[in-house]
Structure 1
Amino acid sequence: MRRVLLLSAYRADSHAYWADWLQREFEEFDWQVLELPGRHFAWRIRGNPLSWLDALPAEKPDLLLATSMVDLATLKGLQPQLADVPSLLYFHENQFAYPLSDDQVRSVEPAMVQIYAGLAADRLLFNSAFNRDSYLQGVASLLARMPDHVPGGIAQRLRKKSSVLPVGVDPIEPARDKDRRLVLWNHRWEYDKRPELFVEAMLQLADRGVDFRLALLGARGRNPVPALELLRRELPDRIVADGFPPKDEYRSIVSRAGIVVSTAAHEFQGLSILEAVSAGAMPVVPDALCYPEQFPERFRYESGDPDSLATYIERLLSPGNARAPDVQDWSAARVRERWRKALSSLAE
């Protein structure tokens, strides 16, 4: 049985979903998994080779599968037994296209980790073309700003070994009691998802007298979220779900939604949107990021514009509108064999 060493330096959200799915799905491999908790970002992306210094299995793997949070170049330098092991680097996101909060300072270090890791890997996989293209453009742009001694064609070298392979989505069966006027938010309540735009659009719709209900899902931190507090205060009678429920309850609520909304400032694949659309919800998403790859123009509003967002939602709430688009190409069933081929080709 071929041994695969899976390294995930930031177990959170799609990283965890992906790692667990691979282990469940491909039992023909002997999985050895090392993961670090999804917190302390700056330390994780620079410190993971040190965190794993004495933790690697003694037996040499046939394939090294690492997420792009892993400092693969340093890891191989500190672990000589891994130097010639075929390596696949998987990008859930890239640091060139990740927005900063008001409390963060842009540092070149996370981006450089992903350049070195890309050069050290035999193959790069991305969960969307947007992710791949923004990474390669970011590499070229960053290196063009360096003062001297930059080899030519780094982005081209990386492009030659890059391809797109999304995380497989487990579809959700549409509920029999589907509520076409139930508007779903199923994202983290954090700055990069821009919940304040969603709330502004919902308040506009209420002012216009539009009939709708709200399911407010997604993780929220310990501190109050001003946008969420405003929505609770202004539209309490419209909220039918509010929380971050266990998986089965979450999928049950999602299965009933008629519309799912994104206001994200960054999205590299958008698993939560794809899940909801698989259950028959119509997406209302920015005309940017990964979404043009996934959804027709009629579901994409002007990014960052709450007026445009409200107008699109109101239109989809009108009688006789289109059905949800087909997202089967992102289903686990559709991508399974592509993943098997990717893993097998390097692990032989």
Structure 2
Amino acid sequence: MWLLSAYRADSHAAWADWVVESRPDLKWTRRELPGRHFSWRIRGNPLSWLDALPEHTPDLILATSMVDLATLRGLHPRLAQVPAWYYFHENQFAYPVSPRQVRSVEPQMVQLYGALAAQRLLFNSAWNRDSFLQGVAALLRKMPDAVPAGVTERLSHACEILPVPVPPLAPEARDPRLILWNHRWEYDKQPELFTRAMLALARRGVDFRLALLGPRPEPVPRALATLRAALPGRIVADGRVDRAEYRRLLARAGVVVSTTRHEFQGVSMLEAVSAGACPLVPDALCYPEQYPAAFRYPVGDEDALVGRLAHWLTNGLPMAPDVSDWLAPALTSRWQALLTPPF
């Protein structure tokens, strides 16, 4: 069995490692490319692997949606009849574009062709599936002619929801006033909104502490620099830490906050919530599938975000929601059944 991942970033890497470790009885062949140079990776992976694929023909190909599966099959005709399952960690139809980027149809077409070349399409959330199918339909409506009928219907019949299994964390002695940020400090996660909310919370005189985790680019993002300058006494952790310390901080946190513009599953949020942290998330994306309304605020509404945090920190936190359906104990059997021959 081949596992192909063209972008070994943090969450993709954790998924690939878990899948292989969950079925040690299978003979795996892995090909992965580093999680950098996105535009080259999503378009160039068949060329990168041109002479790097094994000579044997596998029984099954499990490929992420960063893999240009259609081109790969074309360059290696012996793979044309091999069953292929396409796993969507994300989809390029719903991924926000940076102000520094020019939107290109190329990544979308790679995923559309890849989906058409696969037998099963696996998504980590219903939001991921729905936004992909809606994006395909919207793209094809823009085309001038020669568009076949029923493309989205054909794809929808192959779709299944199968989240990335999140290993649960054991709770520790909780600090109910510890607010956790464990996301990338980049445009799509909107750290500026988080920073403004933390400054507003401090102006209200609310007692809280901050754990500022997650990858950060160089130079230091303005949102992070502002928090460091304005609230140095409240910051108890700042930076990427080793896995043991990361898990410890997640298990201690009282609240974990998201301000993101996109989220297809939200693994980092689920990790913290599995240990008992209260999530506060935008009322959009994958979050309505995961968290009751009491843990969601209107998208982009800074006042609502600050008001909910102030209420919780002043009057006591609610009980964290049950996310067991998204955790490894509930999902392991489904993944193992999926990966049981015959394919």
Tell me the TM-score normalized by structure 1: 0.97
Is the CA contact 2:175–2:254 (under 8 Å) kept in the aligned structure 1? yes
Q: Secondary structure at the match of 1:214?
A: strand
Is the CA contact 2:206–2:314 (under 8 Å) kept in the aligned structure 1? no
Aligned to 1:220: 216
* 1:121 alignment partner, one of 118, 141, 144: 118
Is the CA contact 2:22–2:336 (under 8 Å) kept in the aligned structure 1? no
Identity value in percent: 63
* 2:293 alignment partner, one of 294, 297, 300: 297
Aligned to 1:272: 268
Shift of 1:337: 1.1
Shift of 1:265: 0.5
Q: Secondary structure at the match of 2:340?
A: helix
Is the CA contact 2:176–2:317 (under 8 Å) kept in the aligned structure 1? no
Is the CA contact 1:215–1:242 (under 8 Å) kept in the aligned structure 2? yes
In 2: Cα distance, 1:62 partner to 1:318 partner: 58
Q: CA offsets, 1:58-83, max 9 Å, x none?
A: 11111100000000000000011111
* 2:180 alignment partner, one of 184, 190, 193: 184
Aligned to 1:328: 324
Aligned to 2:192: 196
Matched residue type, 2:222: P
* 2:161 alignment partner, one of 156, 159, 164: 164
Q: CA offsets, 1:203-247, max 9 Å, x none?
A: 000001111000000011221110000000001111011111010
Aligned to 2:42: 45
Q: Secondary structure at the match of 1:33?
A: strand
Unaligned ranges ≥5, structure 1: none
**1:29 and 2:26 aligned:** yes
Matched residue type, 2:127: F
In 1: Cα distance, 2:321 partner to 2:90 partner: 24
In 1: Cα distance, 2:228 partner to 2:218 partner: 17
Q: CA offsets, 1:40-59, max 9 Å, x none?
A: 11111110001000111111
Matched residue type, 2:187: Y
Matched residue type, 1:20: D
* 2:73 alignment partner, one of 72, 76, 80: 76
Pairing of 1:141-152 with structure 2 (within 5 A): 141-152=138-149
Aligned to 1:134: 131
Aligned to 1:281: 277
**1:238 and 2:227 aligned:** no
Matched residue type, 1:222: E
In 2: Cα distance, 1:324 partner to 1:250 partner: 19
Q: Secondary structure at the match of 1:152?
A: coil
Shift of 1:321: 3.7
Shift of 1:24: 1.0
**1:251 and 2:242 aligned:** no
Q: CA offsets, 1:16-37, max 9 Å, x none?
A: 0100001111112111000001
Aligned to 1:343: 339
Q: Secondary structure at the match of 1:274?
A: helix
Q: CA offsets, 1:177-223, max 9 Å, x none?
A: 21000000000111110000000000000001111000000011221
Shift of 1:123: 0.2
Q: Secondary structure at the match of 2:27?
A: strand
Tell me the TM-score normalized by structure 2: 0.99
Shift of 1:311: 1.1
In 2: Cα distance, 1:221 partner to 1:29 partner: 38
In 2: Cα distance, 1:316 partner to 1:142 partner: 43
Is the CA contact 1:101–1:192 (under 8 Å) kept in the aligned structure 2? yes
Shift of 1:318: 3.0
Runs of 4+ in 1 over 4 A off after TM superposition: none
CA-atom RMSD in angstroms: 0.9
In 2: Cα distance, 1:218 partner to 1:308 partner: 24
Q: CA offsets, 1:73-123, max 9 Å, x none?
A: 000000111111100000000000000111000111100111100000000
Unaligned ranges ≥5, structure 2: none
